[in-house]
Amino acid sequence: MNEFYQKDIISIKDFNKEKLEKIFTSTDKIIQLNSTDRREICKGKTLGYLFYEPSTRTRLSFESAMASIGGNSLGISDISSSSTQKGESLADTIRIMSIYSDALVLRHPLDGSSRFASEISEKPLVNAGSGTEEHPTQAIQDLFTIKKEKKKIDGLKIGIIGDLKYGRTVYSLLYGLGNYDVDVRLISPESLRIRSDSTYEIKKRLDFTESPHIEDHIDELDVLYVTRIQKERFPDEEEYLKVKGSYVVGLDLLNQMKDDSIILHPLPRIDEITADVDKTKNAKYFEQAEYGKYTRAALLGLILNKNGF
């Protein structure tokens, strides 16, 4: 039996290198299969999604992934049009969705929400973003992008810049990178450094340096992972205004980078990468979004097929 069959995907901490590489191999297979064979993988299966927070890429890439492997999707993307408005609990909503679906995808603003929901759900549940805590399928897509674009992960110098306090993709990426031999530089304003309650957990997995100065690292990096300042998670707008626009990656900064370096971003982007960077060979964030469809198709194919595909 394949090890992902009927398994919840809650935290990237549950993935060792072997498991990640298995998903990458399955993703390559998804990319190589012709569309007719691909549609056999989850023929007749249903994915249920529940998004209590806005999403463009994650929800649509899950839907697109499920359609590409022959399944269908149903769900709630606008929670204000659901019975949550009448007071229905997350637990009951999950119970109902798991009756109608073979697997569930949940995005929710609270830390711990996916873990809680997975204990209620009769069907495997995939965390599509839980509070400021984690976004594990984004990390799988990020690691796959690095591997595809740089042909390796081990040995790379990786800078992660921006909102490291509230950006959940950062935590999942760091836990995932902990499986590889990488040199990580964390670059943020002082007030947006990684949360102290997670530092110990991250330090157990990998070494990193912290600095507010991108200039100290820019010419050494193989990968620059840019993140948005998460305005919606600041308790106080004044605090947000103090750090808004702290870093802007433009052509001036790109020109200081190694010729073969790549720039990633989980997106959405606001103003932290200028539009003129998009057309350079180093900008890989739109490819990264495309890989998200394939990594999610592979993951769903593995979760929903006893013997894989």
Establish if 172 lies at the interface with ligand CP (CB under 6 A): no
Smallest separation, CB 47 to ligand CP (Å): 15
The candidate with the shortest Cα–Cα distance to 53, out of 118, 124, 160, 127, is 127
* CA-to-CA separations, 33 to 30, 37, 292, 305, in angstroms, rounded: 5, 6, 17, 17
For ligand CP, which residue of 29, 38, 45, 57 counts as binding (CB under 6 A)? 57
Whether 195 is catalytic: no
Establish if 16 lies at the interface with ligand CP (CB under 6 A): no
Residue type, 19: K
For ligand CP, which residue of 55, 93, 130, 172 counts as binding (CB under 6 A)? 55
Q: What angle do CA 39, 44, 48 make, to 5 degrees?
A: 105
Q: What is the C-alpha end-to-end distance of the chain, expressed in Å? A: 11
In this complex, which beta carbon is closest to ligand CP, that of residue 130 or of residue 305?
130
Whether 107 is catalytic: yes
DSSP 3-state of 26 = helix
Sign of the C-alpha dihedral computed for residues 279, 292, 52 and 80 taken in this order: positive
Q: Which residues contact 24 (CB under 8 A, 6 or more apart)?
A: 143, 144, 147
Structure tokens at 66: 């499920």
The DSSP symbol for 220 reads T
d(CA 62, CA 127): 12
Site for ligand CP in 110-129 (CB under 6 A): 129
Please identify, among the stretches 22-30, 55-63, 237-245, 256-264, the one whose residues bind ligand CP according to the rule CB under 6 A.
Answer: 55-63
Please identify, among the stretches 31-39, 111-119, 266-274, 277-285, the one whose residues bind ligand CP according to the rule CB under 6 A.
Answer: 266-274
Smallest separation, CB 138 to ligand CP (Å): 5
Find the catalytic residue in 22, 29, 107, 165. Answer: 107
In this complex, which beta carbon is closest to ligand CP, that of residue 33 or of residue 146?
146
For ligand CP, which residue of 11, 26, 98, 138 counts as binding (CB under 6 A)? 138
Smallest separation, CB 58 to ligand CP (Å): 3
Establish if 56 lies at the interface with ligand CP (CB under 6 A): yes
- Buried b / exposed e along 160-192 (16+ C-beta atoms within 10 A): bbbbbbbbbbbbbbbbbbbbbebbbbbbbbeeb
Whether 57 is catalytic: yes
For ligand CP, which residue of 25, 268, 270, 278 counts as binding (CB under 6 A)? 268
Smallest separation, CB 294 to ligand CP (Å): 15
Establish if 267 lies at the interface with ligand CP (CB under 6 A): yes
Indicate which residues carry an active-site annotation.
57-58, 86, 107, 135
Residues found near ligand CP in the complex (CB under 6 A): 55-58, 129, 135, 138, 266-268
